[in-house]
Amino acid sequence: MNEKQKRELARMKKLVHEGKRKFIIRRDRNYLQDLLEIGISEELAWNEILLLSAYDYVPDYRPFFSKNGNDGLTFKKRINDNLVYIKIKIEEYNKEDATVCLSFHIDHK
């Protein structure tokens, strides 16, 4: 994880603390079902995001290409005996920046 990514993670955590956060609704996954499989609530998922560190970072093998060039950050960490894949980024939501969770599920790879 480089310095720019560390700063981005710090900014994401600040936004989460401020309540500026959102799970993305995807066509291919149900994030609530994914959290249930892990055994945590949405609130606990956000707490886990606040605990992310450079140690948990992994290079993204499937980057999310956005209009603003911000691909987000990808992490893997153990939660309730599961290796969990987490992908977060900053996007504009309700005319403000927010931390958006694109993925939070058991890593089956």
Say which CATH number the domain at 61 has: 3.30.2310.40
Q: Tell me which residue has tokens 């996954």.
A: 29
- Quick one: angle between helices 3-17 and 42-50, nearest 10? 140
Residue 63's Cβ-side half-sphere holds a number of Cα atoms within 13 Å equal to: 8
**DSSP bridge pairs for 89:** 100
Is residue 3 predicted with pLDDT exceeding 70?
A: yes
Structure-token match 């920046």, residue found? 97
Residue 65 is part of which domain span?
Answer: 3-106
Rounded CA-CA distance 57/22 in Å is: 20
Query: What's the structural domain count of the chain?
Result: 1
pLDDT grade, residue 99 (50/70/90)? very high
The answer to whether residue 103 scores a pLDDT higher than 90 is yes
User: What is the pTM (predicted TM-score) of this model?
Assistant: 0.89
Chain segment 38-93, per-residue pLDDT in tens: 999 999 999 999 999 999 999 877 655 555 556 789 999 999 999 999 999 999 88
Q: How far apart are the C-alpha atoms of 53 and 1, rounded to whole Å? A: 9
